[in-house]
Amino acid sequence: MTTVPPRLRRHLVAAAAVVAVAAAATAALPTANAMAATGCAVTYTTNSWSGGFTANITITNLGDPINGWTLGWTFPNSSQRVQQGWSASYSQSGSVVTAQNVGYNGSLATNASTSIGFNGSWAGSNPNPTSFTLNGTVCTGSVTPTDPPTDPPTTTPPPPTGTTPVAINGQLRVCGVNLCNAYGRPIQLRGMSTHGLQWFSQCYNDASLDALATDWLADLLRISMYVQEDGYETDPAGFTNRVNTLVEEATERGLYAMIDFHTLTPGDPMYNLDRAKTFFAAVSARHANKNNVIYEITNEPNGVSWSTIKNYAEQVIPVIRANDPDAIVVVGTRAWSSLGVSEGGNSTEVINNPVNASNIMYAFHFYAASHKDNYRAELERAAARLPMFVTEFGTVTYTGGGAVDVASSNAWLDLLDRLKISYANWTFSDANEGSAAFRPNTCYGGTYTGTGVLTESGNLMRSRIRTPDNFPTS
Ligand code: IDC
């Protein structure tokens, strides 16, 4: 037996321990012909709808650098098929799938990631695979955050028992680029946004919300809670309570409730990251068991890069998911939620680098008198690739004031209807500005129904929102 000097023996034991703990050793053994360390982590998230799904896969190489890779997995259900993929070449035999790198993403340094995806089909049930191999090694590493799979129910829900938007459509989910109801069918929600709760609290009461539900026949109330400008930061508990109360009021009336964390100035959402985590932890815990709450995590980022917004979203979304795993989350986009257009960009930055989470949508905002054909074209282009939600728009200029641009507003609304893009109009208030739906001082009276209390913008919006929804239920 050869004797190994004690110091070297310790060294060898330590090196072996590293390899045993994880296939993901980052350093090769200190011998000339040591095998390369291998290891990997995979996140696999899906958006599913009746018969179809999109899978987004991120592969992280936790081993030594590799040049060329094959990812392998087995679908848990033999009906699941890869139909059309991107960023890898796919082949499937029975339930066994391999995805091979394409030219530009074959080299992965240690800890480097690459994202691939595909559209697939399924029948019966659509569970996610749970085990993956990279170049034959089982991936044991983990990366955060990962979302729980959002598989649809395996049975079609029974016919609705009520007539409100929530009674008919139930829990919504993102399916492909659409917003789908519990029957897996694309729908459009049409509704109104509050003004800042710090200024217009008097406008949100039983009579006004009844009018929104039963006279306007709206589907959605967006609850705008400013963070600055005398908003949340001045009284977190008070504003959280106010939002919670309005969510309950919307729920009682069968409306969807969108909780808008209304950041505006400063434009960097990271400025409010800690507040957002505190706020969304509280409201998502409170409303976890409801099926009508949508979370809008940042209103209008501006003056910051898309990667900053994405980083913010990937920190806030897990806080919500921890309490309310199936709720839709809407992420603001660059340049006041213009998909970057108002700062010279476009949606390609989001398409190429989407938020790493499932069941999310992206916000687009416009003001019809200021934003016209080039904004419409960009929204339409983006909506073919990304789930879009117009969480705020005005019929006037971006200041919130000025005259209603009827032609541009109707062009926008026709586009949103055609693409089934959901929307909330700014504002369901009596603010003394062109975008407000009610004439000044309406909120100090008791009447909110009919057209006598409405501005030109209010009349236009009420007549558009009142047309029948015809939600599909089979
Ligand atoms: C405007 C209000 C106005 C208020 C101002 C304060 O209409 O009464 O004085 O905010 O910041 C947005 C924002 C929204 C703006 C709106 C109109 O999301 O907060 O409201 N707008 O300027 N983005 C584009 C336009």
* 212 in a structural domain: yes
Residue span of the structural domain in which 35 resides: 17-138
Same domain for 120 and 226, yes or no, is no
What gap in Å lies between CA 199 and CA 449, rounded to an integer? 22
Same domain for 133 and 170, yes or no, is no
Query: What's the 405 CA to ligand 1 centre distance in angstroms?
Result: 17
What gap in Å lies between CA 329 and CA 360, rounded to an integer? 5
Question: Does residue 431's CB lie within 6 angstroms of at least one atom of ligand 1?
Answer: yes
User: Of 121, 138, 155, which one is at a domain's C-terminal end?
Assistant: 138
Same domain for 294 and 195, yes or no, is yes
Question: Does residue 229's CB lie within 6 angstroms of at least one atom of ligand 1?
Answer: yes
Same domain for 115 and 199, yes or no, is no
* Separation in Å, CA 42 to CA 70, 139, 153, 280: 13, 7, 25, 27
* 93 in a structural domain: yes
Question: Does residue 335's CB lie within 6 angstroms of at least one atom of ligand 1?
Answer: no
Among 261, 426, 427, the mutation site with the greatest number of ligand 1 atoms within 8 A of its Cβ is 426
* 22 in a structural domain: yes
Query: What's the 262 CA to ligand 1 centre distance in angstroms?
Result: 10
Instruction: Report the relative pairing of strands 137-138 and 132-134 from DSSP bridges.
Output: antiparallel
* 6 in a structural domain: no
How confident is the model at residue 216, as a pLDDT? 98
Same domain for 350 and 442, yes or no, is yes
Question: Does residue 300's CB lie within 6 angstroms of at least one atom of ligand 1?
Answer: yes
Same domain for 113 and 207, yes or no, is no
Of ligand 1's atoms, which has the minimum distance to the CA of residue 265?
11
Question: Does residue 268's CB lie within 6 angstroms of at least one atom of ligand 1?
Answer: no
* 146 in a structural domain: no
Same domain for 171 and 134, yes or no, is no
How confident is the model at residue 27, as a pLDDT? 39
Same domain for 96 and 204, yes or no, is no
* 9 in a structural domain: no
Question: Does residue 299's CB lie within 6 angstroms of at least one atom of ligand 1?
Answer: yes
Query: What's the 427 CA to ligand 1 centre distance in angstroms?
Result: 10
Query: What's the 131 CA to ligand 1 centre distance in angstroms?
Result: 48
Alpha carbons within 13 angstroms on the beta-carbon side of residue 364 total 26
Ordered per-residue pLDDT tens for the chain, 474 residues: 444 444 444 443 333 333 222 333 333 344 444 567 888 889 888 887 888 888 889 999 988 899 999 999 999 999 999 988 888 999 999 999 999 999 889 999 988 899 898 888 999 888 999 889 999 888 877 654 334 444 455 467 889 999 999 999 999 999 888 999 999 899 999 999 999 999 999 999 999 999 999 999 999 999 999 999 999 999 999 999 999 999 999 999 999 999 999 999 999 999 999 999 999 999 999 999 999 999 999 999 999 999 999 999 999 999 999 999 999 999 999 999 999 999 999 999 998 899 999 999 999 999 999 999 999 999 999 999 899 999 999 999 999 999 999 999 999 999 999 999 999 999 999 999 999 999 999 999 999 999 999 999 999 999 999 999 999 998
Same domain for 325 and 454, yes or no, is yes
Same domain for 258 and 193, yes or no, is yes
Same domain for 327 and 458, yes or no, is yes
Of ligand 1's atoms, which has the minimum distance to the CA of residue 398?
25
Respond yes or no: is residue 300 known to be catalytic: yes
Peptide bond into 266 cis (omega under 30): yes
pTM: 0.74
CATH code for position 435: 3.20.20.80
**Catalytic residue of the set 249, 296, 392, 433:** 392
Query: What's the 399 CA to ligand 1 centre distance in angstroms?
Result: 6
Percent of residues in the chain assigned helix, strand, coil, to nearest 5:
30, 25, 45
Same domain for 115 and 188, yes or no, is no
> 216 near 253, Cβ under 8 Å?
no
* Bridge partner list, 45: 56
How confident is the model at residue 10, as a pLDDT? 41
CATH code for position 61: 2.60.40.290
Q: How many domains does the chain have?
A: 2
* 206 in a structural domain: yes
* 310 in a structural domain: yes
